Amino acid sequence: MALEPLLNVRGISKSFNHNKVLKNVSFSLEKGKILGLVGENGAGKSTLMNILFGMTVIHETGGYEGTISIEGKKVRFASPFDALEAGIGMVHQEFSLIPGFTVTENIVLNRESTKYNFLVEAYGDRMKTLDREDMDRRSREAIGKLKVGLDPALAVSELPVGYKQFTEIAREIDKENTKILVLDEPTATLTESEAEILLDTMKRLAALGISIIFISHRLQEIMDVCDKIIVLRDGEVVDDTTPGETNIMSIATSMVGRDITTAFAGKGTRGRNLGEVILRVEHLWVDMPGETVRDVSFQVREREIFGIGGLAGQGKLGITNGIMGMFPAGGSVFFREEPIRLNDPTSPLEAGISAVYEDRRGVGLLMEEPISWNIIFTALQMQERFLKPILGGLVRIRDESEITRSARNYIDMLNIKCLSENQRVQDLSGGNQQKVCLAKAFETKPRLLFVSEPTRGIDVGAKRMVLEALRKYNEEYGTTIVMVSSELEELRSICDRIAIIDSGRIAGTLPASAPSRDFGVLMLGIDGREKKVV
Amino acid sequence: MGGIRKFIENAGWPRIIIGLFLFSLFIIAPFVRVRIDASVSDTLVRFGMNGVMVLAMVPMIVSGCGLNFGLPLGIIAGLLGAVTSIEIGIPGIPGVLIAMAISLPIAVVLGWGYGLLLNRVKGSEMMIATYVGFSSVAFMCIMWLVLPYKSSNMVWGYAGKGLRTTIAVEGFWHQAISDIGSFSIGQFFYVPTGMFLFFALLCGFMWVFMRTRTGTAMTTVGSNPEYARASGVNIDRMRTLSVILSTVLGAIGIIVYQQSFGFVQLYMGPFYMAFPAVSAILIGGASVHRASILNVIIGTFLFQGILTMTPSVINSMIQTDMSEVIRIIVSNGMILYALTRTVKVKP
C-alpha cells in the first residue's frame, strides 16, 4: 500500500509483574475506517487501549515494547495529554462528565471560547470571560455532526444514559484535531434504539474521516459497522479479518477457543457417580449492583461440580451472593428439598452451604487478624466448634490449642506459605489468601460449596493448587461444588456441567465437554437475537 | 540488644516516652519536697477509681463502634443508681450493691437505645456519640431538679427539693469497696485493695467474654463487618450488645469512682468524663478499632500517674498554685496527642 495507514501498531508487548498480558500485538487502521476490537474479559483490550492513550499506569509498571506510529511518525505517549495532542480521543465505559454542568459546558470543558476584557492586561489570560455564544455554536456544531436531538442547554445530570454517551462523543469531536476515536463498550449501557443511533453516528463520523476503534461484546454490532475486526485472546491477536470474510460463529470460536490441554489436564468424561438433585433454584432474582440476576432456575446434583460462567456484569456473581443472603434476593431455593430462607446469611450456613466469595478482601477475609482466626471463625460461630468449657461449664471460651491444630492442618494441606498460623492475613500473597478462604469454607464441612472466581488475581501455580484442592475435596468428601468463574477454560477443566449467564438469565447449560464455540455463542447472547446464524 | 528492640516494638514508643516521663517525675518529686509515698498512693487510688470507666471503652472499640464518647450516658445510669441508693439510705457494701443493681437495668435500657442510634449512623459513630453524651447530660440537668428525691442529704436546703450539685457519700458507702482488705503504711501511703480486686474481677470478666463465641463475633464485626455477616453474625445485634456492655460498665465505673472519691457529682459533673477515659485507653496503645485489657491497665496507670504527678511536682517547682490549669493542659494535651497518634490507623 502506498499510503501510510493513519495508525500503525507494531509488536506491542506488555507485562505486569512478569505476567505477560500483551504478546506482540500488531494492527493498523486507515483513515476513516472503523476497527472492531473483541476479546474475552482479561484478553488485554483495556491494556492495549491504555498504552495507546498513554495512561500513566503503563509507565508506572515498566512501560511497553513495540512501536506505535500515527501518520507515519513514531509516537510514545508519556501521558494522556500527549495522546490528546496527537489527536486520539477516548470515550470510556464510565462517564467522565460533570453532572451539574450543561451539555455545552461539558463539551467545551477546558477549551472554552473566551472574550477579552481589560483585566487581562493586569492578570493575564486567566481573567478572560467566557464567550457563551461561541461555546453554544461549537456544541451545536458537534452535536449536529452526530445527528441526535440533544439540547446543549440541559444539565448532564438530567440526561438519559444514552445521551451522556453522545455528550462524551461530541466532546471528542469538538476537539479540532481528533483523528482517532476510541469507544470502549459504548453500547453496553444503551438501549437497542440508542445503540442503533450510536452505530449510525459512528458510520457518519467515519465518513467525515475520523478513524474509530470500537470495543464491544455485542458481535452483531461489530459485524454491522466495522471495516476490520481484531480478535484478542490471552494478549495475542488471534484473528485479523473483515466482516466479509468471517461470521459471528468463527469470531466467537476464536475468542474463547483456547486449547483445552494447556489449561490443565482435563478429567475427561469419565463415569461420574452423581446422586439426587441436592440444590434446586427457581426463578431467583438478586439485586446486586453491577451483577443483577433477573430470573435464574437450575438444579445441581449431589457430588456434581456445577460451573456458572458468562461475561462480567451479566449476573453470574449475583447468584452466589443472592443464595448466601448477602444481597437482596427473591425466588425460591431448595437444598435437599428444604427451603433456604433468602436474605438471611445464617439459613444457608445452617443447612450446610458455604461460600468462597469473589471479593476476598471485602468479604472473604479478616485482613488484620491471624490466619487461624480466619479459618475457624465460621465454624466457631455457626457450629459452635473450637470452644471449651471453663468455670465448671458456666461459659465456653475459644479453645486456642484446637484452633492452632486445625489451622496448621490446613496450612500443610493447602501448602499455605506463611511464617506461622498467627501471621496476619494481610501479609500473605493473593494466592495464599485465597487458600485461607478455601480453608475457611472447608472447615465448615459443607455439603455444598459455592466458589466464586477462585483464581482471580492469583498466579498460575496457585491457580492449579486451588483447582486441584477443589477437585480433591469433591472426590474425597463428596461435596457438591458450584463454581462461578469468568474463565471458561477453567470451568471446563473441572466442572461436569456449565451454565452460561447472560443479562441475568441462564442462556443455556451445556456439559463441559461441549465445544468451546457453543459456549462462546451463549456468552455473547447471539443465540436469542440472531437465530439465523445458529 | 535485640531483646530491647523487641520490647520497644511491642510496647510502642509513646508508652515508653510517657513511662520514662512519669518515672522522671517520681525521681524529681523528693527534691522539690513532694512526698513520694503520698504521690504513689494517689496514683494508685486514681488508677482504681478510673479503671472501670476505661474498661468501658473496650467493647465498643472491638465491635467497630469507635471510642465511647457517649460514656456520660452510662455515667448517668450510675448516678441514678447512686442517688437512689442514698435515698434508700442503706450504708456500706449493701448500699453500693443496691446502687449498682438499680443502675444496671437503667444502663441496659439506655445502652440499647444508644446502640440502635449508633447502628443508624455507621461510619460517624464517634461524633454522634459525643453529642449523645452532651445532650443526655443537659437533659439530666433538668431531671435532677425535677425527680422526686427527698433525702435531706441530697436536696437543696432552702427549697427542700431538687438535688444538689455535689452530694457526699460520707456516712453511706464512702470507700466501701476500696476498704475491703485495704491497708496503710505510715500516714500517707494507702492501698485500696478492694477497689483493685473489683477492677481485676471486671477485667477478668471482660477477658473471658472476649473469648466466648459472642465476644469473638463482636471482635470480628469490628474487624470486617461483611466477613462477619457472611459467617452468619447479626452485625447490628453485636454492635448493640457492645454498646449496652460499654454503658453498663460506665455505670458501674462511676459508682466505683464515687465511693472512692466520696462525692456524687451531678449536673455538669459527667460532661467531660468521657475524655480522660478515652485518652487513657489510647495512651495504653489501643487504636480506634483495636483494644485489649492490657491497653486499659497500662493506659489508666500512665494517664492517671501523669495527671497526679505533673501538677504537684510542677507546683512545687514554681511555688504557685496552678494545679488545676496544669491538670487541664496535661490531660487535654494528652488526648490531642493520643488522637493524632490514632489518625493513621483509621481505615
pLDDT in tens, A456-493: 777 666 777 888 888 888 888 889 999 998 878 788 88
Cell of A502: 447472560
Closest by Cβ to A381, choosing from B226, B233, B290: B233
pLDDT band at A261 (very low <50, low <70, confident <90, very high): very low
**CA of A380, closest CA in chain B: separation in Å?**
7
Q: Which pLDDT tens digit goes with each residue over B235-292?
A: 999 999 999 999 999 999 999 999 999 888 988 888 888 888 988 888 888 877 788 9
Domain extent for B177: 32-270
Residue B222 to residue B205: CA distance in whole angstroms: 20
Cell of A295: 430470573
* Cβ distance of B231 and A349 shorter than 8 Å: yes
**CA of A492, closest CA in chain B: separation in Å?**
28
Report which of residues B300 and A219 the model is more confident about: B300
Same domain, A291 and A440: yes
Same domain, A69 and A37: yes
DSSP 8-state code for residue A511: E
Same domain, A390 and A470: yes
Domain extent for A327: 261-533
Within a domain: B315: no
**CA of B55, closest CA in chain A: separation in Å?**
20
Lowest-confidence region among A329-338, A412-421, B196-205? A412-421
A chain contacts of residue B232, beta-carbon cutoff 8 Å: 345-346, 349-350, 378, 381-382
Same domain, A252 and A394: no
CATH code for position A503: 3.40.50.300
Residue A411 vs residues A356, A407, A442, B28, B191: alpha-carbon distances, Å: 17, 6, 12, 54, 50
Q: Which of A256, A282, A310 lies at the terminal end of a domain, its last residue?
A: A256
The three-state secondary structure class of A33 is coil
pLDDT band at A133 (very low <50, low <70, confident <90, very high): confident
Chosen for mutation from B201, B206, B211, B290 (greatest number of chain A CBs closer than 10 Å) is: B211
* Cβ distance of B232 and A364 shorter than 8 Å: no
* Cβ distance of B232 and A396 shorter than 8 Å: no
Provide the domain count of chain A: 2
Segment A431-441 shows an average pLDDT of 89
Measured in degrees and rounded to the nearest 5, phi and psi for residue A197 equal -60, -40
**CA of A499, closest CA in chain B: separation in Å?**
25
Q: What percent of chain B has pLDDT over 70?
A: 96
Same domain, A226 and A271: no
Does residue B86 carry a pLDDT above 70?
A: yes
Residue A16 to residue A235: CA distance in whole angstroms: 12
Closest by Cβ to A398, choosing from B216, B229, B233: B216
Same domain, A488 and A503: yes
Size of interface A-B (CB pairs under 8 A): 69
Q: E strand or H helix at A237, and its extent?
A: strand A236-241
Closest by Cβ to B230, choosing from A326, A384, A397: A326
Nearest CA-CA partner of A506 in A309, A329, A344: A309
* Cβ distance of A345 and B231 shorter than 8 Å: yes
Same domain, A238 and A359: no
Within a domain: A469: yes
Within a domain: B312: no
Q: What percent of chain A has pLDDT over 70?
A: 92
Same domain, A222 and A318: no
Q: Which pLDDT tens digit goes with each residue over B149-182?
A: 888 888 887 877 888 888 888 888 888 888 888 8
Locus of grid cell 471482635:
B219
Residue A74's DSSP bridge partners are A69
* Cβ distance of B231 and A378 shorter than 8 Å: yes
Chosen for mutation from A320, A395, A450 (greatest number of chain B CBs closer than 10 Å) is: A395
Within a domain: A411: yes
Q: Which of A256, A278, A311 lies at the terminal end of a domain, its last residue?
A: A256
Same domain, A423 and A500: yes
Measured in degrees and rounded to the nearest 5, phi and psi for residue B67 equal -75, 140
Q: Which of A236, A256, A276 lies at the terminal end of a domain, its last residue?
A: A256
The three-state secondary structure class of A181 is strand
Segment A66-70 shows an average pLDDT of 88
Q: Which pLDDT tens digit goes with each residue over B290-307?
A: 889 999 999 999 989 988
Does residue A77 carry a pLDDT above 90?
A: no
Does residue B89 carry a pLDDT above 50?
A: yes
Measured in degrees and rounded to the nearest 5, phi and psi for residue A81 equal -65, -40
Cell of A327: 444481597
Provide the domain count of chain B: 1
Does residue B327 carry a pLDDT above 80?
A: no
Residue B264's DSSP bridge partners are B167
Residue A173 to residue A179: CA distance in whole angstroms: 9
The three-state secondary structure class of A332 is strand
A358 close to A328: Cβ distance less than 8 angstroms: no
Q: What count of other Cβ atoms lies within 10 Å of the Cβ of residue A46?
A: 18
**CA of B285, closest CA in chain A: separation in Å?**
16
Phi-psi region of A113 (alpha: psi -120 to 50; beta: other; left: phi over 0): beta
Within a domain: B18: no
Q: What count of other Cβ atoms lies within 10 Å of the Cβ of residue A37?
A: 25
Within a domain: A107: no
pLDDT band at A308 (very low <50, low <70, confident <90, very high): very high
* Cβ distance of B211 and A398 shorter than 8 Å: yes
Within a domain: A273: yes
Angle between helical axes of A192-207 and A132-146 (0-180°, round to 10):
100
**CA of A367, closest CA in chain B: separation in Å?**
8
Q: Which chain A residue lies closest to B226 (C-alpha atoms)?
A: A363
Q: What is the pLDDT of residue A264?
A: 43
* Cβ distance of A366 and B224 shorter than 8 Å: yes
Nearest CA-CA partner of A76 in A60, A52, A57, A56: A52
Q: Is B245 exposed, middle or buried (0-12, 13-18, 19+ CB in 10 A)?
A: buried
Q: Is A196 exposed, middle or buried (0-12, 13-18, 19+ CB in 10 A)?
A: middle
Q: Which chain B residue lies closest to A376 (C-alpha atoms)?
A: B231
Within a domain: B2: no
Closest by Cβ to A381, choosing from B217, B223, B224: B217
* Cβ distance of B231 and A390 shorter than 8 Å: no
B211 to chain A, any CB pair closer than 8 A? The answer is: yes
Within a domain: A161: no
Within a domain: B52: yes
**CA of A366, closest CA in chain B: separation in Å?**
6
Same domain, A230 and A277: no
Contacts of B71 (CB under 8 A, 6+ apart): B53, B56, B57, B133, B246, B250, B270, B273, B274, B277, B278
Same domain, A473 and A507: yes
Closest by Cβ to B230, choosing from A324, A391, A397: A324
Within a domain: A98: no
Residue A525 to residue A219: CA distance in whole angstroms: 9
Nearest CA-CA partner of B22 in B245, B329, B305: B305
* Cβ distance of A381 and B226 shorter than 8 Å: no
* Cβ distance of A381 and B213 shorter than 8 Å: yes
B9 to chain A, any CB pair closer than 8 A? The answer is: no
- Per DSSP bridges, beta strands A34-39 and A211-215 are parallel
Within a domain: B338: no
A51 close to A76: Cβ distance less than 8 angstroms: no
Residue B75 to residue A205: CA distance in whole angstroms: 72
Please identify among residues 269-328 of chain B the ones whose CB lies closer than 8 Å to any CB of chain A: 290
- Per DSSP bridges, beta strands A34-39 and A7-16 are unpaired
Provide long-range contacts, Cβ within 8 A and 24+ apart, for B28-32. Answer: B28/B313, B29/B309, B29/B312, B29/B313, B32/B313, B32/B316, B32/B317
Residue B187 to residue B184: CA distance in whole angstroms: 7
Within a domain: B49: yes
Closest by Cβ to A366, choosing from B211, B213, B220: B220
| Helices marked H in A183-273 | 192-207, 219-225, 248-256, 260-263
Q: Which chain B residue lies closest to A386 (C-alpha atoms)?
A: B213
Residue A474 to residue A504: CA distance in whole angstroms: 28
Q: Interior CA angle at A521 toward A517 and A522, to 5°? A: 120
Residue B299 to residue B305: CA distance in whole angstroms: 10
Q: Is A86 exposed, middle or buried (0-12, 13-18, 19+ CB in 10 A)?
A: middle
Q: Is A249 exposed, middle or buried (0-12, 13-18, 19+ CB in 10 A)?
A: middle
pLDDT band at A2 (very low <50, low <70, confident <90, very high): very low
Residue A50 to residue A60: CA distance in whole angstroms: 12
Same domain, A372 and A339: yes
B229 to chain A, any CB pair closer than 8 A? The answer is: yes
